Structure 1
Amino acid sequence: MKNSKAYLSPWPLILQAWHTQRLGHALVIQGSQEKADLLATALSRQMTCEEVGDRGCECRSCSRDIFDHPDVLHIQPEKDRIRREQLQIVLQHINRPPLWSHHLVIWVDQAHRLTEAAQNYLLKSLEEPPRYVTFIFVTEQIHGLLPTVRSRCQFLRADPDIQDDDTHFDPDQFFADNDLTKEQLIQFSYWVRTQYRRHQNKAWLELWEASYQAFHHLNANGSQDLIKEILRDVFDHVRQ
């Protein structure tokens, strides 16, 4: 891994995506509240650090409480709901450039508590955000988000133990299935990452990179058959 001291180093797959600029502008973090908060904090620190993004950095941003950072806008439920009015107050700042860092992070905690009106209000911002904006949605209940919101987001798993648990993943079944969903592709990516960490074979890393490219093609409504064919070719090379 490029930087074992980085804020995101406990999540190597996500750190690699950060280094290769493959993290989307809207991220959904799935997992327990505690571990999802840890990942959301690490992402926010990595994005707002004014130096190289290492833990222990003493730059102005890293020395500041993350919830008191001018470029981190934190939204929490009020009376168990997040309403459109709360988003309007926050999103009025979306078109101003970050004050300290290169990123403006909009962190929505317990995102499944967004009302339907609030989620619909978010759609345009999720579709065409300024280049410096990243949305982070933290939730334990992914189905609380509307399909129109989920389709605009990239999904991350907060718990490394979940990422590394490949005991129930069958790659042959993955390639045999007729349909290819984003969730299946994410599971495949995590399984590939586990194989790379286990075998330290560069070919597995190439397959992981191919799976991330495949995710973006699928997100752009690319051909499922073509995506699987490309992944299958790389996978067969790895197993030779």
Structure 2
Amino acid sequence: MAKEKVFAVVGLGSFGRKVCEVIAEKGGKVIAIDNDPALIDRIKDTVTQAVLLDSTDEDSLSGAPLDDVDAAVVAIGDNVAASVLTTALLKRAGIRFILARAISELHEQVLRQIGADEIVNIEIDEGQRIGMRLMSPEILDRIPVSHAISVAELYTPKTFAGKSLLKLDLRRKFHVNIIALTRVNLSVDEMGNPLRNEQVIFPHAEDVLEGTDVLLVVGKNEDIDAMREY
């Protein structure tokens, strides 16, 4: 039987608390750490163990139950010094994988230099996402996979309607892949009331796009934009 994974989450603001809730909901063990008694009290019934301590104090952190932790999440966002020091101390404690939250590019750079394995930069990622959405309103949503690649949800371009994916040949022309589409079917019931039915389709080459289809596309950002403007 596979060993149950154990996670430590340091910093129980909105971001850290949500990480705890999702891991616990999925059956993982969570050790939640913060120096705010109110936040500890709020999460204690959700996680495996809630520990009140100052994560920037090496003596306090060394007393935390971290021996079996597989990965740690440093979710501290409003105190850069505490975030950096906590990450460094967790690294020194031998935690195998550390994911840390950054609030600026400089913060991200420092976290990488001291050994964070993965960085989540919510403010910059979300700012980029909103800016791109405002500049391209026909793109309903765009989720970064990396700095260069995204998964985008967008309306079917008018020039694509009525054509099959085979004929459009998007992979060759634009180096993008349509991984799914949502097709909206409108009808009326026996009383004449409008009905809206959404069907998710994983398309084949011979499938023909309709003008109301919403496409889920993966590719480089510039390639998605080129396809959108075609």
TM-score (norm 2): 0.39
Larger Rg: 2
Higher relative contact order (CA 8 A, sep 6+): 1
The structure where helix makes up a greater share of residues is 1
The structure where strand makes up a greater share of residues is 2
TM-score (norm 1): 0.38
